[in-house]
Amino acid sequence: MNVQHNIESERMSFWERIYLPEIGRGLALTFKQMFKPTFTRQYPEEKWIPTGSYRGRPVLVLEEEGERCVACGLCSRVCPALAIEVRAAETDKVKERYPEKFEINMLRCIYCGFCEEVCPEEAIIMSKDYELVFTDPKDAILGKDKLLIPIAQLQDRLEFLRQYR
């Protein structure tokens, strides 16, 4: 019969097979680790704050005069996951157009950052927010109320974009 033998127990040496020395080796490793410094973070009590290069959920930049976004729809067009829906309307401001509705479906978003890259107004950028937990799929569709973030909180990312884009 065409049977090949390559069983674990056949490959082990005599010392490995008698088991006890191996247990000793394992425990030695464990005890060694106990005296090394730890890296484990006590999340969520202890939070990690990413740097500007991090791509968390995309957010809209809110300036003093209102949102930067002019509802051009380019982010929506480029988004590979079809996560963004923009509905435009007219305003009396100098920039005649604003998003009447701007929604990102976080269940669709893959954090690729294409929306940020394509935006002609630097109005949508990737934030540091990675805590996205929802108990209902409907809650995962974020509207303008959740997306608009004051520009002061987004300085790190804007600085990163200025330097590296």
Partner 1 sequence: MPQIIIDGQRIEAAAGATIIEAALLAEKTIPHFCWHPGLSVAGNCRMCLVNVGFPKKSPDGQPEIDSDGKIAIQWGPKLSIACATPVADGMVIDTEGQRTEHAQHAIMEFLLINHPLDCPICDEAGQCKLQEYAFMHSNGKSRFIEQKNHKDKRVPLGPNVMFDGERCISCSRCIRFADEIAKQPALTFVQRGDHVTIQTFPGMEFDSPYSMNVIDICPVGALTSIDFRFHSRVWEMSFTNSVCPGCARGCNVKLGIRDNELQRIEPRTNMHVNEYWMCDAGRLEQYPYVNDNRVIEPAIKGNSSDWKSALESCADILKAYKPSEIMIIGSARGTNEDIHATVKFARETVKTHNIDFLEHRDPIFADEFLRLADRTPNHAGAIALGLRPQDHGVNADNLAQRIVQHQVKVIIAVQEDIVGHPEFGANASTVEHIIAIASNHNATTQNASIVLPASTYAEVEGTFTNVDRRVQLIEPAVTTKENERYMGMKMSRWDKLGAFNDRWTQGERRNSRPTWKILTGISEACGHAMKFTSAEDVFNDISSHNQHFKGMNYASLEDNQGLRLDKASETEAKAVMYVSHVLKPQV
Q: Which residues bind ligand SF4 (CB under 6 A)?
A: 58, 69-75, 79, 81, 83-84, 86, 104, 109-115, 118-119, 121, 123-124
- Beta-strand pair 97-105/148-150: unpaired
| Residues sharing a CB contact under 8 Å with residue 37, sequence separation 6 or more, in sequence order | none
Q: Does 121 bind partner 1 (CB under 8 A)?
A: yes
- Residue 33 CB, nearest approach to ligand SF4 (Å): 38
Q: What is the end-to-end Cα distance of the chain in Å, rounded?
A: 64
Q: Find the radius of gyration of the CA atoms of the chain.
A: 26
Q: Does 73 bind partner 1 (CB under 8 A)?
A: yes
Burial 34-65 (b: 16+ CB within 10 A, else e): eeeeeeeeeeeeeeeeeebebbbbbbbbbeee
Q: Does 112 bind partner 1 (CB under 8 A)?
A: no
- Residue 8 CB, nearest approach to ligand SF4 (Å): 45
Which span sits near partner 1 by CB under 8 A: 32-40, 76-84, 144-152, 157-165? 76-84
H helix intervals, 18-89: 20-34, 74-78
79 touches, from ligand SF4, partner 1, none (C-beta below 5 to 8 Å by class): ligand SF4
- Residue 155 CB, nearest approach to partner 1 (Å): 24
**Cα–Cα nearest to 75, from 129, 128, 141, 120:** 120
- Quick one: 89 or 151, whose CB is closer to partner 1? 89
Q: Does 72 bind partner 1 (CB under 8 A)?
A: yes
158 touches, from partner 1, ligand SF4, none (C-beta below 5 to 8 Å by class): none
